[in-house]
Amino acid sequence: MIGIWTQQVTPEQLNLGRTGTLVDALGIVFTEVGEDFIRGTMPVDARTKQPAGLLHGGASVALAESLGSVAAWMCVDAERQTIVGLEVNANHVRAVREGIVIGTARPAHVGRTTHVWMIDIHDEKQRLVATSRLTVAVLPKNW
């Protein structure tokens, strides 16, 4: 086991599971798994913009929840447990019109029954775009 993870999963393996999901539809790509973080990117394009041409706040939240949920899943015994979202929030601090955004999820709390994940989203110039908090419940797999 490396860092906080109970499962060793590579970004390539995570990306294989995207097909037919919201993650796939939004162009989210898992890019890095560190000792205590997971990182991914999302394009700012027609799939993720709002009508005014800016990155849609909901797309940022989808990126945050996707990263945090996968990170939480990587911290549990996937044979016996699953995770479900309880609450997600976000503060949007910078508009983005083009390029990609990069999200990084790190744990604030990894407990037996709940996790809290902090997800920061930056633009390509490393400027903060949004910050989010995701709370998940850890449940028995066949709840």
Active-site annotation holder among 12, 32, 35, 65: 65
> Domains of the chain (ranges plus CATH)?
11-140 (3.10.129.10)
Q: Determine the average pLDDT of the residues in 35-43.
A: 97
Please give the Cα distance from 23 to 42 (Å, whole number): 9
Q: What is the mean pLDDT of the chain?
A: 96
Q: Look at phi and psi of residue 46 and say left if phi exceeds 0, alpha if psi is from -120 to 50, else beta.
A: alpha
Supply 96's token pair: 């983005």
65: annotated active-site residue: yes
Confidence at residue 136, expressed as pLDDT on a 0 to 100 scale: 98
The pTM assigned to this predicted structure is: 0.96
- Does the CA dihedral 4-5-9-14 come out positive or negative? negative
Please give the Cα distance from 66 to 105 (Å, whole number): 9
Cβ atoms 75, 113 nearer than 8 A? no
**pLDDT(1) > 80:** no
| 3-class state of residue 90 by DSSP | strand
Token pair 């940022």 in the structure block, residue: 60
Give the model confidence (pLDDT) of 92-114 as tens digits.
999 999 999 999 999 999 999 99
Supply 56's token pair: 């849609």
Confidence at residue 3, expressed as pLDDT on a 0 to 100 scale: 82
